[in-house]
Structure 1
Amino acid sequence: MNMNMNMSKPEFFVAPGAGEFFRTELHFSSAVKIDNRVETSGQGGWNDSLQIPEQIEDEIAAAFRNVELVLRTAGATWSHVVHVNTYHVGGFPPIVNETIVKLYRQYMPNHAPIWTQVGVAALGLPTMRFEIRVTAIVH
């Protein structure tokens, strides 16, 4: 049996604020939903003016808030997140993992998703040191 026959058409979402800028200027969406699966584009710690906070902890916290906005736009929440990828410029000083783990416990107190961390040379904005993308299953 061909499983693709049962899949619904992809539905793309654009989050308000920076997501609208990215859709217009860079031609990509904030998230896609296929059936009950939501995949997000990578989210940085930007505000609507694409400014990145000076402190890495604030950048990471802002990126988590941006993921929350994208998930909400696509009809999901952090409670649906099953997989996280994080991308890091500048390595992994202790404050990075400490901040991420604190936010995991805040946003997902009842489950622990799978997680992959990748060190990279650069991200989409010159001042970015952190980016996060998630997969959510809406049940």
Structure 2
Amino acid sequence: MSVAIHTRHAPEFPLPFSQALVAGDFVYISGQVGVDPATRQVIGDTIEEQTTQTLRNIETILHTAGLTLDHIVKIQSYLARPEDVPGYNEAYRRLLKEPFPARTTITCGIGSYLIEIDAIAYAPAVRTEAPARSEA
């Protein structure tokens, strides 16, 4: 069984999808873009600004589930332009702590947005470094 998460503090669109679903110990966040939740206007003209807003929107949805960005274990990012990857990495690095989530980054046509991000969070624990392993 899964339970939908909804908050009016994150962007809402008249499209057939949930902002997020809780399924067992995981929270699956639908693709978010860099828009202001109240106006649905794009925030900024740069990949850094839109990445920051996109991750803040994801953070708001996670907060509704009682989680933080530190609970994210997997991120998939879709960038409109390959040349934006360095700026995306810079904004990403500022908002997410090490160890970073597993990640896939794809460049593709996504309409008028520079970025869309979806994420998977694991509710019972935050990301931590694995203990050092000795090699045999």
**Same fold by TM-score greater than 0.5:** yes
The equivalent of 2:132 in structure 1 is none
Structure 1's consecutive aligned runs of 4 or more residues displaced over 3 angstroms after TM superposition are: none
Q: Which runs of 5 or more structure 1 residues have no equivalent in the other structure?
A: 1-8
The equivalent of 1:87 in structure 2 is 78
Could you tell me how far apart the structure 2 residues matched to 1:112 and 1:95 are?
17
- TM-score by length of structure 1 reads 0.79
Query: Does 2:26 match 1:37?
Result: yes
Could you tell me how far apart the structure 1 residues matched to 2:3 and 2:95 are?
28
How many residue pairs align between the two structures?
121
Could you tell me how far apart the structure 2 residues matched to 1:63 and 1:122 are?
14
Letter in 1 for 2:87: I
Per the TM alignment, residue 80 of structure 1 is displaced from its structure 2 partner at its CA by 1.0
Overall identity of the aligned pairs, in %: 28
Q: Which runs of 5 or more structure 2 residues have no equivalent in the other structure?
A: 125-136
Could you tell me how far apart the structure 2 residues matched to 1:102 and 1:18 are?
21
Root-mean-square deviation (Å): 1.6
- Which of 99, 115, 122 lines up with 1:137 in the alignment? 122
Structure-to-structure mapping, 1:1-139, within 5 angstroms: 9-19=1-11, 21-22=12-13, 25-47=14-36, 48-52=38-42, 53-93=44-84, 94-104=86-96, 108-109=97-98, 111-123=99-111, 126=112, 128-139=113-124
After superposition, what is the alpha-carbon deviation per residue over 1:3-35, rounded to whole angstroms, capped at 9, x for unaligned?
A: xxxxxx10001121454x32xx21321000011
